[in-house]
Structure 1
């Protein structure tokens, strides 16, 4: 009779349970498991992962890293399953890039077929459309105002109006270009995010960062984005984590992969939630990765760590949660039940903090092998700061290019800078408005196979959530082609232009001028910035002519001379002939440059992210007088 030791039986039970979880979490509403022929190969892959685990290895690692054996088994099997899935999805993406026109047309017709019997689909006769050209001829280019009333009716419970089924979520955008927008998100969108985005990125990590393929845990700097429900019970969320939104069911069962326990993820106050993320991360000396949506979130984490490290070390030493945190009694009791006094770890942490914060991340966590966060676009500054200061020597991976509208591209070449993303032709139907036509209401568009390398275009999408030929406002540059599929680099948001006289200064142009100016200020290091047009500030702008008001947070200086302040204006004139012309004629007044106190931008992000929507993405051009006044009150020079 075959005998199985209880420990081994426990491992196989965990394996089987995880397989069931995987099938439930990923299999619903997807093409992945509709073909039952895949089931034997999935099962075989999982079992093969399981039998390669030796109980001796599990016990050794569990003892060394203070983790349960079952948690390690689940982590190992989860990585095996997702590794198999990632390889399969990467191969499918490669095949799709060989025939982009066909794949894009299939994607479009699938979207149109699903909404053909809605009121909107009947209005544009989607049933009669059989190809991309007919669709482009019969349907106009749209913006959010074309959908605002329809989305509000969907949120109120109207069925088959814009989309064929009840939305999975209602997503509130960050309002980076002005007003917040509420967009429906379908299960298909989450499925695409996970299968075409997350899975492919995990395969890229496996190929490019093999050191991350061990059973270490990750700290994910994610926050509760629950903003309630619509009147008909549809959950409303902020533009939440790509990973969390696409596979939240799976993550719920795989919390052993992350250092932060489940109760801490329900804390709504961002400052307290961030403290808890840091506390549980510091306890784990074998931490393998740091992860967040944006590099700015990880930068904020290290800024907070630098401010509160003594309090955190004391909590590690005593095995408690700081009494300064405003937590519900039950949450505090549960979290403290997970902690044990660790004076040895606390002593090591204290010694490293006292040496300073340059390269602090690899000193706190010697086995840290990867930082996973978007560090392109408006997060470029924070990515550079992390690489040069707190996280010196640790590899970075900026995984996906996505928006509230859905997945757009994946980064399959992590080593390239600036960050570049391969468009996902099966996620959304994409069109491209040439940069010269951005101001037109109904501009001409090109398709994926028609764009040209080196040119810039605004992205127009048709997605799974009821948006058709929709201008999302992102301007991209085509940097290369992977087979037939464009590889893009984000340039700027059309709504983030500085424009007081028609000069139209993009975020990329202004940032280039700012970095050049700061390099000429002895000892200065740029930590954060934003701009506001003088018309937003009104009388508080301090000048009669239209001008730019610039708020800077710097390290290394506490004041700037007038000559240094003018240097920024001069650098922008060198970058923009139009701006220089307006300055010469006096149509635009001198730029006003003001320094804010250390931590002002962190405080702004924290205060705004504590309100719905819960995830606030920093705007580089402020459209809110309240935000501008907030920074004015924190001006020190």
Structure 2
């Protein structure tokens, strides 16, 4: 019995170990020619594997190579996920030790840099010593230093050369240029990175720990089904020293191992146009009725994909029926030729799709893909409303998992509770060294920070991070609420960005507070469904504001109504007064005037999104809608879309 087990499992173990080690760059992949004995044993092992694979197949027209690659991927991810989950659990039992070890390791690594010498990193022995010698910082502290790195100077802030100069999305201000390093990417891989990436990949759309949590919560996701991943290849420019500048993401096509997992073929990731790439994502997803997961960085991207599907479904169905690629797409001839070799006429699938679309779009996802298990996308923070709209309409009945809390600065937390409606994230003690500024002290000149073991449940804090890529005691502008602890480690909910706060008289109305009031008001407008919204403080509007008192200009796109009465508009002001005692007191005193609510035409925010991305060079993968507009031209654009 023992020998039979050995003969069947050794080939699989060798294969898994070979691929796993190759993934993390420790050895090259094992050569195909193995010793004769193991080669014979492999036949037996492969029979066992094929039986296991056969039990998990949902789709058709898959080659053995494609299925085996995905099967191996699932096994390796499971192995790494369980290992990393165990390490994370261990760290949550000794948070202070894990945090101090992480901090000191980074200080030692960068002690010989210009920056490390300036702050004498080599003499720092503990957390207290670090906090004494280094101030709390914002982006202005690093701007000139990062400029020197972009120009080619080495060992300025960090010991290694950055892989890219990563641009933030600019949601709460101007985009910032940050350093992205191999260490940052390693943290993503070990904590949340998806399987089988090349070791130089820096995409942040994750798994090991998150996939382990997902596997436990949604075991059906282990079936060998393809994922539709909504991703748009970013464009990069070069710094003076030839370092790529752009968003911190890379295409799945940069790793040959990933392609078998996705419905979208490699040539589609070479298409520069977001509109044309989205069409191809939808086309190849519709061709495959066995899609198991819809994946994107943010729920907004999934939402915009379904609105595009609703607009273009007839064109897509025609392409599937005739086995062609629409001539309306502006494609490189070589890319078009490669894509068209993958298209064959499928009138039967086209007829199925046409029937589903003609039934309407509520619950369309489960009708198009009967085996769809999950939407994998962040739907907290500014993406909350898109997640709610998807669950209520296009993706009715499909589970959602918001896997992690991350930023251009790196991984911050992971969601170990996929089935919980409130998106909670366990802070990762070895990803970032975290400090916390109490919400009450945010405006102080020299505020005092707390550590992970010192924060209190129920309180709000601004995160201050020291990461793996040259940010030290850096205020990232995110306000989080500590909602509990996992062992000794804080569990947080994202609340708002400091730069996305309405504040015309010192009242400080956060995004979360305003959205809560807006949802209450919309619920009292018969037939209305919220599609999107933004606000502006009257000060940026100048003469177009329509009043002298400081006030909020609110832009709303709704479904189900074409007009709002003055009473309905005023209801929003009343709801905010009910939720914010400070706002109410300013309204009663007359120092803040009543809100002015503009109802916009359909598609206004989709057009605004295009303008914002063009202005900031933000990738569709990282774009987040600005809830408070800081540029007059954006507010003026929306004023021009007013219908009521």
- When the two structures are superposed, what TM-score results if normalisation uses the length of structure 1? 0.91
Change (3 A) 1:64 1:97: closer
Whole-angstrom CA distance in 1 between matches of 2:403 and 2:588: 43
Whole-angstrom CA distance in 2 between matches of 1:603 and 1:322: 23
Name structure 2 gaps, 5 residues minimum. Answer: 1-9, 29-37, 193-206
Match of 2:88 in 1: 93
Q: Residues 49 and 80 of structure 1 are in contact (CA less than 8 Å); yes or no, is this contact kept in structure 2? A: no
| Corresponding position: 1:587 with 2:596 | no
Q: Residues 15 and 74 of structure 1 are in contact (CA less than 8 Å); yes or no, is this contact kept in structure 2? A: no
Match of 1:118 in 2: 113
The Cα of 1:629 is off from its aligned counterpart by: 2.4
The Cα of 1:54 is off from its aligned counterpart by: 5.0
Whole-angstrom CA distance in 2 between matches of 1:49 and 1:75: 20
Match of 1:215 in 2: 224
Q: Residues 556 and 599 of structure 2 are in contact (CA less than 8 Å); yes or no, is this contact kept in structure 1? A: yes
Change (3 A) 1:113 1:419: same
Q: Residues 318 and 340 of structure 1 are in contact (CA less than 8 Å); yes or no, is this contact kept in structure 2? A: yes
Change (3 A) 1:255 1:446: same
Whole-angstrom CA distance in 2 between matches of 1:79 and 1:154: 39
Match of 1:346 in 2: 350
Change (3 A) 1:465 1:57: closer
Change (3 A) 1:90 1:387: same
Match of 1:627 in 2: 634
1:511 to 504, 515, 529: 515
The Cα of 1:27 is off from its aligned counterpart by: 3.1
Q: Residues 253 and 259 of structure 2 are in contact (CA less than 8 Å); yes or no, is this contact kept in structure 1? A: no
Match of 2:151 in 1: 156
The Cα of 1:21 is off from its aligned counterpart by: 5.6
Match of 1:6 in 2: none
The Cα of 1:50 is off from its aligned counterpart by: 6.2
| Corresponding position: 1:618 with 2:625 | yes
The Cα of 1:604 is off from its aligned counterpart by: 2.2
Match of 1:178 in 2: 173
The Cα of 1:599 is off from its aligned counterpart by: 1.8
Match of 1:38 in 2: none
Match of 1:80 in 2: 75
Match of 2:284 in 1: 280
Match of 1:140 in 2: 135
Q: Residues 270 and 609 of structure 1 are in contact (CA less than 8 Å); yes or no, is this contact kept in structure 2? A: no
1:205 to 208, 214, 217: 214
Match of 1:228 in 2: 237
Match of 2:408 in 1: 404
Q: Residues 553 and 595 of structure 1 are in contact (CA less than 8 Å); yes or no, is this contact kept in structure 2? A: yes
Whole-angstrom CA distance in 2 between matches of 1:501 and 1:18: 61
Q: Residues 12 and 45 of structure 2 are in contact (CA less than 8 Å); yes or no, is this contact kept in structure 1? A: no
1:445 to 423, 442, 449: 449
The Cα of 1:184 is off from its aligned counterpart by: 0.3
Question: What secondary structure is seen at the aligned counterpart in 2 of 1:272?
Answer: helix
The Cα of 1:617 is off from its aligned counterpart by: 1.5
Change (3 A) 1:366 1:597: same
5 Å matches for 1:310-349? 310-349=314-353
Match of 2:7 in 1: none
Question: What secondary structure is seen at the aligned counterpart in 1 of 2:610?
Answer: helix
Q: Residues 108 and 429 of structure 1 are in contact (CA less than 8 Å); yes or no, is this contact kept in structure 2? A: yes
Q: Residues 518 and 526 of structure 1 are in contact (CA less than 8 Å); yes or no, is this contact kept in structure 2? A: yes
Q: Residues 18 and 74 of structure 1 are in contact (CA less than 8 Å); yes or no, is this contact kept in structure 2? A: no
Change (3 A) 1:262 1:626: farther
Change (3 A) 1:92 1:17: closer
Question: What secondary structure is seen at the aligned counterpart in 1 of 2:470?
Answer: coil
| Corresponding position: 1:435 with 2:439 | yes
| Corresponding position: 1:460 with 2:460 | no
The Cα of 1:632 is off from its aligned counterpart by: 2.1
The Cα of 1:505 is off from its aligned counterpart by: 0.4
Whole-angstrom CA distance in 1 between matches of 2:316 and 2:44: 38
The Cα of 1:418 is off from its aligned counterpart by: 1.4
Q: Residues 53 and 224 of structure 2 are in contact (CA less than 8 Å); yes or no, is this contact kept in structure 1? A: no
Change (3 A) 1:333 1:523: same
Q: Residues 58 and 72 of structure 1 are in contact (CA less than 8 Å); yes or no, is this contact kept in structure 2? A: yes
The Cα of 1:271 is off from its aligned counterpart by: 1.2
Pairwise CA RMSD of aligned residues? 2.4
Whole-angstrom CA distance in 2 between matches of 1:539 and 1:178: 23
Question: 1:10-67: per-residue Cα shift (whole Å, max 9, x none)?
Answer: xx99998886564344236xxx99xxxxxxxxx9xxx899646555776898895122
Question: What secondary structure is seen at the aligned counterpart in 2 of 1:211?
Answer: helix
Question: 1:520-568: per-residue Cα shift (whole Å, max 9, x none)?
Answer: 0000011111111112222222222221111111111111001101110
Question: What secondary structure is seen at the aligned counterpart in 2 of 1:287?
Answer: coil
Question: What secondary structure is seen at the aligned counterpart in 1 of 2:643?
Answer: coil
Whole-angstrom CA distance in 2 between matches of 1:239 and 1:214: 30
Match of 1:26 in 2: 24
Match of 2:247 in 1: 238
Whole-angstrom CA distance in 1 between matches of 2:92 and 2:209: 14
Q: How many equivalent residue pairs? A: 606
The Cα of 1:316 is off from its aligned counterpart by: 1.1
Match of 2:539 in 1: 535
The Cα of 1:442 is off from its aligned counterpart by: 2.3
Q: Residues 164 and 248 of structure 2 are in contact (CA less than 8 Å); yes or no, is this contact kept in structure 1? A: no
Whole-angstrom CA distance in 2 between matches of 1:495 and 1:63: 46
Change (3 A) 1:116 1:592: same
The Cα of 1:156 is off from its aligned counterpart by: 1.1
- When the two structures are superposed, what TM-score results if normalisation uses the length of structure 2? 0.90
Q: Residues 514 and 576 of structure 2 are in contact (CA less than 8 Å); yes or no, is this contact kept in structure 1? A: yes
Whole-angstrom CA distance in 2 between matches of 1:199 and 1:399: 11
Question: 1:154-196: per-residue Cα shift (whole Å, max 9, x none)?
Answer: 1111101111111011110011111110000110001101111
Whole-angstrom CA distance in 2 between matches of 1:401 and 1:230: 29
Name structure 1 gaps, 5 residues minimum. Answer: 1-11, 34-42
Change (3 A) 1:347 1:105: same
Q: Residues 172 and 237 of structure 1 are in contact (CA less than 8 Å); yes or no, is this contact kept in structure 2? A: yes
The Cα of 1:351 is off from its aligned counterpart by: 0.2
Change (3 A) 1:49 1:129: farther
Whole-angstrom CA distance in 2 between matches of 1:415 and 1:368: 16
